[in-house]
Amino acid sequence: MSDQSVIGAGSLVRGNLSGEGSLEIAGSVEGDISLSGDVNIAESGSVSGSISGALITISGEVSGDVTSSESITVDANSSVTGALSAPRIGIAEGAAIDGQVRTGGGAKAAAPRTAAAESAAPARPVANRPAAAKRPAAAKATPKKKAAQRRPPPPVVPAPRKGSKARKKTRRR
Amino acid sequence: MTGTVIATGLTIEGEITSDGEVVVHGSVRGSLSSNDAVSIASGGSVEADIQADSISVAGQLTGNVTATERVDIQTGGRLIGDVKASRLTIADGASFKGNVDMDV
């Protein structure tokens, strides 16, 4: 009993929750939640603030980023305003989500993602010109297309494309 | 209606308000108010002013306490702060430091 925390319906927490164990929220939380265990937001529950935990289940309302080390499940009739990031994400029909959804790396992906984008950058000058490295992605897109037209399928082309996708994603954020 | 339980290992820093019962096994810093009972279980630790119907302390509590009904400091409980309540019990083995206002 004592490693399962509950914020009951009719309860409001204004502040941060952190620590171990699992948490069920049937009331409201205005603040950040950071737990090593599972977080379950019941239908009557609402959170405005970021959430991080292991298995996160959302049946209520969340406004803030949700990051999980395992999985996020967004049930029907729930609503999320903010980014979802986890190795596995499940979204039920009827759920309202406004924000970026990213699967694959969870919390750990944040650092490697930028590292991957940076390592993709030097790959580009090899295909084009070294001077192009510092130009914005939009400026680079044209020379890349030209290169593609000259030599349609060689293995050089797919690599920069992957790089450009990863790059645009990170810029958009 | 389910009550609120702050389990061992969970820390809340901020303000808690509740219509229902609140049980603290973990730790709370800030303030806590409830229209029902608040109990700080053995092992629980609270640094907050508490306002509730009744308050039971078996863990550690630092802060001023106001209860509309009663305050019970149980064996092993430790309360540092002022108590305002019409009824107060301090069990054998409890620690208490503070003033008592029984609304006489």
- Over the stretch B62-102, which tens digit does the pLDDT of each residue have? 999 999 999 999 999 999 999 999 999 999 999 999 999 99
**Contact (CB<8Å) B10/A27:** no
Answer whether residue A6 shows pLDDT above 90: yes
Range of the domain at B23: 4-91
What is the interface pTM, i.e. ipTM, of the complex? 0.91
Higher per-residue confidence, A88 vs A172: A88
Report CB contact under 8 Å: B12, A17: yes
C-alpha A167, offset from chain centre:
16
Q: Do B4 and A31 touch (CB under 8 A)?
A: no
The interaxial angle of helices A137-150 and A110-127, nearest 10 deg, is 50
Inter-chain residue contact A2 with B7, CB threshold 8 Å: yes
Compute the distance between CA of residue A55 and CA of residue B30 in angstroms, rounded to an integer.
28
Q: Are A131 and A95 part of one and the same domain?
A: no
Using a CB-CB cut-off of 8 Å, the residues of chain B touching A7 are 4
Whole-number pLDDT of residue A102 = 94
* Placement of tokens 């290169």 in the chain: A147
Query: Helix H segments across chain A?
Result: 110-127, 137-150, 158-172
Q: Are residues A114 and A53 in the same domain?
A: no
A47 and A92 share a domain? yes
A99 & A114 share domain: no
- Across the interface, of B5, B8, B14, the residue whose CB is closest to A6 is B5
Shared domain check, A149 and A72: no
Report the number of distinct structural domains present in chain A: 2
Report yes or no on B56 lying in a domain: yes
Interface of B with A (CB under 8 A): 1-22, 25-26, 30, 41
Cβ-Cβ contacts under 8 Å, A1 against chain B? 5, 7
| Contact yes or no for A10/B35 (Cβ under 8 A) | no
H/E stretch holding A41 reads strand A39-41
Partners of residue B25 in chain A, C-beta under 8 Å: 2
For residues A173 and A22, what is the distance between their CA atoms, to the nearest angstrom? Answer: 31
